[in-house]
Amino acid sequence: MKQHDAMYIDGSWRPAAGGGTIEVVNPADEQVIATVPAGSAADVDAAVHAARAALPGWAATPPGERADRLAALHGRLTARADEIAGTVTAELGAPLAFSQAVHAGVPLAVCASYAELARTYAFEEKIGNSTVLHEPVGVVGAITPWNYPLHQIVAKVAPALAAGCTVVLKPAEDTPLVARLFAECVDEAGIPAGVFNLVTGLGPVAGQALAAHEGVDLVSFTGSTAVGRRIGALAGAEVKRVALELGGKSANVILPGADLARAVAVGVANVMANSGQTCSAWTRMLVHKDSYAEAVELAAAAAAKYVPGERVGPLVNARQQGRVRGYIEQGIAQGARVVAGGPEALEGPGYYVRPTVFADVTPEMGIAQEEIFGPVLALLEYEDEDDAVRIANGTVYGLAGAVWAGDDATAAAFARRLDTGQVDINGGRFNPLAPFGGYKQSGIGRELGPHGLTEYLQTKSLQF
């Protein structure tokens, strides 16, 4: 077991102000693999002061030079990609192949995109008799979740640095080890002292101290809607900017004429990826009444291929495991029919949950309304397109979704009716340059690509 005792603040590793520690547990075998410092308000304060002091110099650094540092960071992350994948597998439990392709691969693509954007973005523009300057918003407090631990870090830190902001990062307490690895890469990339700072700690302590700190100009948070509300209230009291990427209950709508077998198979794979711990997962599959029975059979067969410990990993911790099994029990109690999986415990160690598919789900059920954050899929039947739109839009969330049809035009026309921030058309691929974020209670603001960069900029108009 590794015992870490330092924070990365002002360009060096320094001991934490307090003596508290956080145990990092491998969710596949429930063994403690490391400890990290439980940062205090004093640690957060030191990090914010370092970021504040570094801000003028970094903001004045030409964008091309900031791009060079981000390119160097990309190079260091690339060199340590295998170590990144292994670290995420150890602290999150994701199968190694998934960690290599997604947990390491996606952040590399995002980092590279911001190295390029820092070089090419128009930080000045002419509008009539005005010159409009796009300037960094200032010190960013980034609070990231455990489900995609490095991706969520890079999706905040890279655009903030590209914009000329400085950052204090508070990663999730379940997955702090890859955040430490990221800080090492920042250091190796030659990014100036104080531009990036890392404080590990608990959300109610270090996270709250960071969100409430008067020296932070923008809080960027990814996590639950409940915590997002609290952070929004804290920031609002100080008229501080926020970017919130919160929960989801995304609909996968299969229209008549679609390739049903492919749509169901891809839909099940989407929900089972990362053990269902994905805010944008298509956890509601909507199928026309004429194809519903066939879709249920296809989904049950597809889910049976996801063997815990092989194709699907554990949940992140015991609390999450209990929460997801509780939702499965609630679904049964409310009248839904289990066609794959179920709430029963699995033998052996690890926070595993059986990949579960529900049929006979109605829109008002808890499993059709609330974010479960586990490998649980609900199949709902609809009468016609208007009914499908009503069901798909009938939650407080609006983060992502999918539409399948016999042709792209039909699917796209339906997608325009959905109240959600991102829709995949007939299996369209993830695009790291497209804006990601939600409608309604799924959040405020966007991440990724040029839209993600603008979150960290503010405008100044010079009239001539």
* Dist. CA 456–CA 134, nearest whole Å: 9
CA distances (Å), origin 189, targets 153, 281, 440: 16, 34, 38
Pairing state of beta strands 251-254 and 401-404? parallel
Strands (E), 6-119: 6-9, 12-15, 21-26, 31-37
Question: Does position 194 have pLDDT exceeding 90, yes or no?
Answer: yes
2-246+442-463 CATH: 3.40.605.10
Q: What is the DSSP letter of 191?
A: P
Assess contact for 112 and 439: CB atoms under 8 A: no
Specify the pLDDT at position 3.
94
Q: What pLDDT sits at residue 420?
A: 98
Same fold, 2-246+442-463 and 251-432: no
Domain boundary assignment for the chain: 2-246+442-463, 251-432
DSSP 250-266: -EEEE-TTS-HHHHHHH
Residue 186 confidence (pLDDT): 98
Distance CA 382, CA 332 (A): 21
Report the share of the chain in percent with pLDDT over 90: 98
3-state helix, strand, coil in the chain (%, to 5): 45, 20, 35
User: What is the distance between the alpha carbons of residues 370 and 74, in angstroms, rounded to a whole number?
Assistant: 37
Local structure of residue 308 (DSSP, 8 states): B
Average pLDDT over the chain reads 97
- pLDDT for res 19: 86
User: Per the structure block, which two tokens stand in for 396?
Assistant: 């407080």
Question: For residue 42, what pLDDT is reported?
Answer: 97
Q: Which helix (H) or strand (E) holds 287?
A: strand 284-288
Tokens standing for 347? 């033998």
- The model's pLDDT over 82-102, given as tens digits with 9 standing for 90+, comes to 999 999 999 999 999 999 999
Tell me the pLDDT tens digit for each residue of 314-356.
Answer: 999 999 999 999 999 999 999 999 999 999 999 999 999 999 9
SS3 200: coil
Rounded Cα distance, 271 and 47, in Å: 38
Crossing angle for the helix pair 149-163 and 177-188, to the nearest 10 degrees? 30
Residue from 125, 135, 173, 245 carrying the catalytic annotation: 245
pLDDT at 18: 82
CATH of 251-432, one of 3.30.450.40, 1.10.940.10, 3.40.50.300, 3.40.309.10: 3.40.309.10
Ordered strands of the 218-222 beta sheet:
12-15, 6-9, 196-198, 166-170, 139-143, 218-222, 241-245, 443-444
Higher pLDDT, 35 or 238: 35
Tell me how long the chain is: 464
CA distances to 35, 426, 427 from 293, in Å: 49, 21, 22
* Residue 91 appears among annotated catalytic residues: no
Nearest to residue 92, comparing CAs of 263, 274, 226, 239?
Answer: 274
Which two tokens mark 265?
């198979």
Structure tokens at 153: 């870090």
Mean pLDDT of 66-82: 98
Please answer whether residues 320 and 374 qualify as being in contact, where contact means their C-beta atoms are separated by less than 8 angstroms.
yes
Distance CA 345, CA 308 (A): 11
- Distances from the Cα of 90 to the Cαs of 189, 311, 313, in angstroms? 25, 16, 11
Summarize pLDDT for 259-315 with one digit per residue, the tens.
999 999 999 999 999 999 999 999 999 999 999 999 999 999 999 999 999 999 999
Residue 333 neighbours by CB under 8 Å, 6+ apart: none
Check residue 29 and give its pLDDT.
Answer: 97
Mean pLDDT across 127-152: 98
Q: What is the mean pLDDT of residues 398-402?
A: 98
Confidence of residue 119 (pLDDT cuts 50, 70, 90): very high
Inform me whether the pLDDT recorded for 431 exceeds 90. yes
